Amino acid sequence: MKHAERYLIGATATLAALSASAAEVVPRAHRPYAFGSFAVVIFMTLFVTWWASHKGKTARDFYTAGGGISGAKNGLAIAGDYLSAAAFLGVSGLIALYGYDGILYLIGFFVAFVPVLLLVAEPCRNLGRYTFGDVLAYRHDFRTSKLLAAGSSVIVAIFYMIPQIVGGAVLLYALLGVPYEVSILVVGALMLIYVTVGGMRATTWVQIIKAVLLLTACTGLFISALVPFHFNVVRFFVALLHQTELHDYLTHGRRVAGGEDVQLVTKTFFEPGLFLKNPLEQLSLGLALTFGTAAMPHIMMRFFTVRDAQTARKSVLWGMLAIGGCHLLIIFLGFAAAYYVGGLRIAATDKGGNLAAPLLAQYLGGGAGSMSGNILLGLVAAVAFATIVAVVAGLTLAAASAIAHDVYVGAIKGGRATEQEQVVAGKIAAALVGVIAIGASLLAKGQNVAQLVGLAFAVAASANLPALLGTLYWKRCNTFGVTCSVVGGTAIAIVLVLVSPNMQYPLAIRADATLTLESASATMKTAEERMNDLALTPEARQSAAVELAKADNLRQAAQATLNATGQATTSIVGLEKPLVNLRNPGIISIPLGVLFLIFGSLLYRRSTLAEEKWKQLVFRRDSGIGIDDVVNH
């Protein structure tokens, strides 16, 4: 599973690898329509931000939108916060190219909401005020808890944000030809406007709008794709199963052996194994997703925006309904893209398949040469872009809250700060986080930053979740155990990624590039001979010329790679090859994070503070009685 992580959650970042040809997806003459679609969506979100900025000026308004969001709205906002471009663009593309294996990826993102529903949402609402740090500080040392929670929240948020910003920028470039640097600044500026001007209220509404747009777009495409089949899903799948184009695509790249019986080949598209080669990797990723989601700071923060635990529960249920519905639509759209657009064209546009959904929209709207097709493509791309900025805005607010509320107000000012100081601190922190994320995204040009998404989930699952669950459900848990879990879990996840195949290993890169160089040179030689062969038809000579140009591009790219690696022989941590053959460290780092918590708590002297507060915490966690003290303190 050479590029599993990249395909999976790194749809945003794999876009970074799009070829220049992707910029031709929307013909130049039709770009104004696509631009117009983008402009409408962005204008809507900016209008909501302006409206939200007049709604409240208190710290509670800024961090939690006043705490009065209804369950249904918060559920949609959770869906907006959580459904990233990876699901919409990445997984639909993965299904379009590899069929069944794409579905396996998506399911983990949905199942991940079970721990959120059962273990996290209601207790967090009953114990916290604005952040994850509030929950830890309920029974552990105040300053230590705040600093630990802030540190890990910021790390997770930044790791998750960079690939999102890069993905948004590359989407703008790929579809509209906007230069990378300009696109990064546009994404960064939008997220800063949403957060600093409108705070949580604007961010919530941007996420609701995005969720509604995404569901509407997916439903619209679903209906359009089924029109020729009279809305009969079974007939659609039977047609796909017998499609000769699918057979040709599957046998073309030798994904499966060719055969006379079309159905025998196309059946493999609905079976596991076309993409997943290492089951252990999938298991590791499944663990990171199912345990990491419950401890992602931007998801946890959503539970502080509602009145009580019952509303938090309703939020998760509404969120699961929206996310599950969207997932089922995305699964269908992946297969629809395979049927209508075809794997060969999708892979030719972007080998990761990330433009499958926009290409499907273009096809269903009338094709690349039609105005309606490009308007529809623009709308779908604008929804994908809104998806990205909504996720990024949620992450920015989560990181800003951690810095302002936990570090500045909590650890530095000891919890004593005026309303205005808290709001100003929040806005400054948001600007700081934004600048860091924009700077890092600009530096990431041309880099594969996809592994950061997997790393964010792994850190959340290995560091934050053991600390959170220990605090909530284990009497013996103490500050030292939580410290060991957060610091140890974060460190082990990062170290494992640094020694994993995610890193760049110059020797392997040079070996690959040399092979490509040799193969391209051989192809060029053959193509040149064919071009000079006067016995061939003009069409055959022209085909040879195209082949020559392609091979030359490959040769140049391989040469550039060889030049770029220079004399280096080791990765940035001095390794010639990976020490651990897993791209996602979850299967190792999560059990270690739990062990750090257990041994840290058991080896340290019993904390009377934590144990005295235990009964109080259990009562508050389960009943929510006294919640007003938390909200109003």
Partner 1 sequence: MITNLDLPASGARAQPIVSPTQAFDECMAKKNRMLLVLGVAVFIYYFALIVGAGWFRPFYTRSLPGGLNVGIAFALSQYFFVGALALIYARRMKHVDAQIKLLAEARETKNETR
Query: Which residues contact partner 1 by CB under 8 A?
Result: 100-101, 103-104, 107-108, 110-111, 113-115, 117-119, 234, 237-238, 241, 267, 270-273, 276, 279-280, 282-283, 286, 290, 310, 313, 316-317, 320-321, 324, 327-328, 331, 622-625
Residues across the chain: 633
Question: How many whole angstroms separate alpha carbon 41 and alpha carbon 534?
Answer: 56
Considering the complex, state which of residue 253 and residue 273 has its C-beta at the smaller distance from partner 1: 273
Q: Rounded to whole angstroms, what are the CA distances from 474 to 10, 155, 180, 530? A: 35, 25, 48, 74
- Identify whether the C-beta of residue 163 lies closer than 8 Å to the C-beta of residue 450: yes
Query: Encoding tokens for residue 236?
Result: 């659609």
Question: How many whole angstroms separate alpha carbon 304 and alpha carbon 192?
Answer: 21
Considering the complex, state which of residue 237 and residue 604 has its C-beta at the smaller distance from partner 1: 237
Q: How far is the CB of 119 from partner 1 (least distance, A)?
A: 7
DSSP class per residue in 77-137? HHHHHH--HIIIIIIHHHHHHHTHHHHHHHHHHHHTHHHIIIIIHHHHHHH-SSSHHHHHH
Considering the complex, state which of residue 49 and residue 311 has its C-beta at the smaller distance from partner 1: 311
Q: How far is the CB of 243 from partner 1 (least distance, A)?
A: 13
Q: Which of 169, 163, 187 lies closest to 13 in space, CA to CA? A: 163
Q: How far is CA 262 from the centre of its chain?
A: 36
- Identify whether the C-beta of residue 585 lies closer than 8 Å to the C-beta of residue 502: no
- Identify whether the C-beta of residue 21 lies closer than 8 Å to the C-beta of residue 549: no
Amino acid at 161: M
Question: How many whole angstroms separate alpha carbon 423 and alpha carbon 290?
Answer: 33
SS3 538: helix
Q: How far is the CB of 624 from partner 1 (least distance, A)?
A: 7
Q: How far is the CB of 250 from partner 1 (least distance, A)?
A: 15
Q: How far is the CB of 266 from partner 1 (least distance, A)?
A: 11
Asked whether the CA dihedral 444, 445, 447, 452 is positive or negative, the reply is positive
Helix 419-443 crosses helix 371-401 at what angle (to 10 degrees)?
A: 130
Please report which helix (H) or strand (E) contains residue 569, including its range: none
Considering the complex, state which of residue 35 and residue 474 has its C-beta at the smaller distance from partner 1: 474
Q: How far is the CB of 397 from partner 1 (least distance, A)?
A: 27
Q: How far is the CB of 462 from partner 1 (least distance, A)?
A: 17
- Residue appearing with tokens 């060029």: 524
- Count each helix (H run) and each strand (E run) in the chain, helices first: 31, 0
Q: Left if phi > 0, otherwise alpha if psi is -120 to 50, otherwise beta: which for 626?
A: left
Considering the complex, state which of residue 117 and residue 428 has its C-beta at the smaller distance from partner 1: 117
Q: How far is the CB of 469 from partner 1 (least distance, A)?
A: 11
Considering the complex, state which of residue 92 and residue 422 has its C-beta at the smaller distance from partner 1: 92
Considering the complex, state which of residue 98 and residue 385 has its C-beta at the smaller distance from partner 1: 98
Considering the complex, state which of residue 612 and residue 622 has its C-beta at the smaller distance from partner 1: 622
Q: How far is the CB of 304 from partner 1 (least distance, A)?
A: 19
Question: How many whole angstroms separate alpha carbon 328 and alpha carbon 483?
Answer: 40
Considering the complex, state which of residue 556 and residue 623 has its C-beta at the smaller distance from partner 1: 623
Considering the complex, state which of residue 234 and residue 534 has its C-beta at the smaller distance from partner 1: 234
Q: How far is the CB of 510 from partner 1 (least distance, A)?
A: 32
Please report which helix (H) or strand (E) contains residue 568, including its range: none
Considering the complex, state which of residue 326 and residue 437 has its C-beta at the smaller distance from partner 1: 326
Q: Left if phi > 0, otherwise alpha if psi is -120 to 50, otherwise beta: which for 29?
A: alpha
Amino acid at 564: A
Please report which helix (H) or strand (E) contains residue 350, including its range: none
Considering the complex, state which of residue 212 and residue 283 has its C-beta at the smaller distance from partner 1: 283
Q: How far is the CB of 76 from partner 1 (least distance, A)?
A: 16
Q: How far is the CB of 613 from partner 1 (least distance, A)?
A: 18
Considering the complex, state which of residue 247 and residue 405 has its C-beta at the smaller distance from partner 1: 247
Considering the complex, state which of residue 434 and residue 593 has its C-beta at the smaller distance from partner 1: 593
In degrees rounded to 5, what are phi and psi of residue 466? -60, -40
Give the CA radius of gyration of the chain.
25
Q: Would you give the DSSP letter of residue 474?
A: -
Question: How many whole angstroms separate alpha carbon 63 and alpha carbon 86?
Answer: 27
Question: How many whole angstroms separate alpha carbon 143 and alpha carbon 518?
Answer: 60
Considering the complex, state which of residue 120 and residue 423 has its C-beta at the smaller distance from partner 1: 120
Q: How far is the CB of 4 from partner 1 (least distance, A)?
A: 12
Q: How far is the CB of 208 from partner 1 (least distance, A)?
A: 21
Q: Rounded to whole angstroms, what are the CA distances from 608 to 479, 587, 612? A: 11, 34, 6
Q: Helices marked H in 444-537 — which ranges?
A: 451-459, 465-473, 479-498, 506-532
Q: How far is the CB of 87 from partner 1 (least distance, A)?
A: 14
